[in-house]
Every structure is written in structure tokens, then in C-alpha cells.
Amino acid sequence: MAWNEPGGGKDPWGGNRNDQGPPDIDEALKKLKEKLSGFGGKGGGNGGASLKSILPIGLVVLGIIWGLLGVYQVDATEEAVVLRLGKYDSTQTEGLHWNPPFFDSVITVAVSEERQYSTRGLMLTQDENIVEVALSVQYNVASAKDFVLSINGPVESLEQATDSALRHVVGSTGLDGVISTEREQVANATEVKLQDLLDLYSSGIRIVKINIEDARPPNEVKAAYDDVIKAREDLERLVNEAQAYSNGIIPEARGEAQRLREEAQGYMSQVVSKSEGEANRFKALLKEYEKAPEVTRERLYIDAIEQVMIDSTKILLDTEGGNNMLYLPLDKLVQQGNGGALKGAETNNQLINRVANEVIEKLQRNSEQSQGERRR
């Protein structure tokens, strides 16, 4: 019969179900002690001897458990910072490691993982304009020891240092530079400034890249700034058009100037050469004049008359010793020559030259006759 069935039986504490009183605690403890002492030998034995035999086994089991608790694995992308009794001991790299539990604490840090932090805020530029800048910071852990031990809250420190570096750079740059023309320079300068601050804090953080995702004026003044941007674009367009016009005009003007310089140089050479030739001819003529002045003078006169007659169409001759003048209409003679009155295929210039030569010969004969008469 089960102990808890009605009608009697003993309960597990050795009492009688019919007994309505509470079980005897001392007796129950005594029975439990006897059962525990039965593990040490047969038929009861000494209880103290049994506890001494169990104690080494328990210590060995605890030692094994304690040893297993100290085994840990470090991945290739991680480093483990070991603290012994709260003080830095070493930094473990990739592999299987063991450190005594309860004495050492191990903090694992992912050093190869590239992390990202983003921020956005309003700040003042150098020309006292408000600009809203949004940027992202890509970073990783360069020193696991510094990242864990040097500063309290490295990520919070990174956020505050980023805000400080960005405000410093933006405060040294004009609005146009931050928004458009110098955005890349602002990002690079912020990266350098931020890394200097993190190195000063010994944070163990290395900045990989800073990207300015957005930079614009506040919404309240965006419309006015759009007008400024449009005006600047118009200015750049006009400047480019003027530059293109200048690039077309200047080479042409330079070419024209070069042509004029070359023509002037040629004219100068021509005039100089002609002048030198005239001077040399005059020197040669002067020598001949010194030898025979009368003949040379007469020859010069005849040459001059020849040049005049060539360009003349009408000639009037004054005969010496009379009042009549001889009129030679060379133009009429030329017209008659063109009409077939003159023989041959003489041209106008040839005809004029021929008539002029005849006149000159007549003048020479008259001059010789006059000189002969004067000699008599």
C-alpha cells in the first residue's frame, strides 16, 4: 500500500499516517545522514571517513570546471584585452587561449570591423552664415588596449570630437566653400582635425574616411540662397562666354599685329635699300659730274625730260627764236594708233615712248645747235 493512500502506511519521513502530529525533524536529518554515509563503505561505516573520501573527487571536478571556464577563442578580426585582478595584463590575438577564471577578465574587441557614425547639425561659417551639414564617419579600432582602457565611452567621445572638429573647420570656411566649391577640402580638413583629437585622447580609434553627405542653408533662407546660386551660375556662364570670345579674338589680333610688323619690316627694308641705292648712285654720279660738269648736267636734264615725257599725253614745244609753239597731241596719236592708222602692233605705252624719244632727240639736236652757235 502506498504511503499516501488512505488507511495507513508510513510517510517518507518514517512517520505514521495515522499520527496527526508533525514529522520529527531530528529523526529525518538522522536518516539522511545515514544514507549519505552509505556511499563511503558497506553496512554504514564511519561518517567522517566517507566525507574525506568524497572531498578529493569534488575538488578534482571543481578544478576541471574551473579550467574549462578559462578557455576562449579569439577570431582573426578580433583582439582580446586581458585584465588580471582589474589591471592590464596583455593583448591576445587570433587563436585559442586560456586565462584563469575569476582572476582574469577578457574583453574581446573587433578591430578589423569598419564602423560608421553619422551626424547632422547647424553651425556658423566664417562669413557668419548658418549652414546645415550632415556627414558620416567611417572608422575602426587601431588599438584594442586604448579603446578599452584609455577613455570611458570611446563611441561617445568620438561623437563629441567629430562635432568639435567639424565646427572648427566650418567656422574657418565661407558658406560657398562649405556648400559647393570646397566640400571635399572641408571633409579632408575635418578628418585630419578629428584624428588629431582622437590621438590626443589615446582613444585607439583610426578614422578611415569622412564623407559630407549634405550641406545646405536652413530651409528658412533656402529660396534666397537659390537665387544667389542662380546668379552665380549666370556669372560663370558670362565669364565663360567672354573667355571664349577672348580666346577667339586675341589670336586673330596677334596674327594681324604680326602681319603688320612683317609688312612694316619689309617696307623698312625696301626704303632703306632704295635709299642706299640712291645714295650710291648719287655718289657715282657725283664722280662723273666732277669729271665733266656740263655733259653730266645736260644728261641729267635729258633724263628728267624723258621721265616727264613718258607720263605726259600732251606736249608743247617752244621753238627758239620764234613765237610759235609746237603742239603734239600724244593722246590723239594713241587713239589713231588703236584705230589702225599706225603700223605694227604697238601698244599705247610703246607708242608714247617712241614719240617721246623722237621729241627728246629733236630737243637734243636743238640743244646741240644752240651750243654750236654760242661757240661761234
Report pLDDT digits (tens) over 270-303.
999 999 998 898 888 888 888 888 888 888 888 8
CATH fold label, 115-217: Tetrahydropterin Synthase; Chain A (3.30.479)
Residue 342 has pLDDT above 50, yes or no: no
- Which range has the worst mean pLDDT, 138-152, 209-223, 277-291, 361-375? 361-375
Report which of 28, 27, 49, 24 is spatially closest to residue 38, judged by C-alpha positions.
Answer: 49
Asked whether the beta carbons of 85 and 105 are under 8 A apart, the reply is no
Q: Which of 71-75, 218-222, 287-291 has the highest mean pLDDT?
A: 71-75
Given a contact cutoff of 8 angstroms between Cβ atoms, the answer to whether 292 and 342 are in contact is no
- CA distances 358 to 110, 133, 310, 328, 367, Å, are 122, 104, 12, 11, 14
Contact 327, 314 (CB under 8 A): yes
Cβ-based neighbours of 182, under 8 Å, separated by 6 or more: 173, 176
Report pLDDT for 307.
76
Contact 66, 130 (CB under 8 A): no
- Rounded to the nearest 10 degrees, the angle between the axes of helix 47-69 and helix 25-37 is 70
Instruction: Say if residues 49 and 38 touch (Cβ distance below 8 Å).
Output: no
Nearest to residue 354, comparing CAs of 293, 324, 315, 309? 309
E strands, 155-262, are: 205-216
What's residue 371's pLDDT?
A: 60
Collapsed DSSP state (helix, strand, coil) of residue 314:
strand
Query: What pLDDT is recorded for position 225?
Result: 77
CA pair distance 216, 219, nearest whole angstrom: 9
Specify the range with the lowest mean pLDDT, choosing from 36-40, 54-58, 77-81, 180-184: 36-40
Q: What is the mean pLDDT of residues 141-147?
A: 93
- Distance between CA 79 and CA 149 in Å, rounded? 14
In the chain, % of residues over pLDDT 90:
30
Question: Can you name the residues that pair with 84 across neighbouring β-strands?
Answer: 87, 104
Local confidence band at 334 (pLDDT 50, 70, 90 cut-offs): low
Q: How does pLDDT run across 166-199, given as a tens digit for each residue? A: 999 999 998 888 888 888 999 999 999 999 999 9
* Gap between the Cα atoms of 194 and 212, Å rounded: 14
348's CB contacts (< 8 A; 6+ apart) are 334, 337, 338
Q: How far is residue 140's CA from residue 111's CA, in Å, rounded to a whole number?
A: 6
Question: Which residues have CB under 8 Å from 223's CB, separation 6+?
Answer: none
123-128 contact pairs (CB < 8 A, 24+):
123/166, 123/167, 123/170, 123/171, 124/170, 124/171, 125/170, 125/171, 125/173, 125/174, 125/175, 125/178, 126/171, 126/172, 126/173, 126/174, 127/174, 127/175
How far, in Å, CA of 168 to CA of 254, rounded? 50
Given phi > 0 = left and psi -120 to 50 = alpha, else beta, which region is 7?
left
**Residue 45 reports pLDDT greater than 80:** no
Residue 95 or residue 336, greater confidence: 95
Report the distance separating Cα 215 and Cα 373, nearest Å: 115
Distance CA 355, CA 362 (A): 11
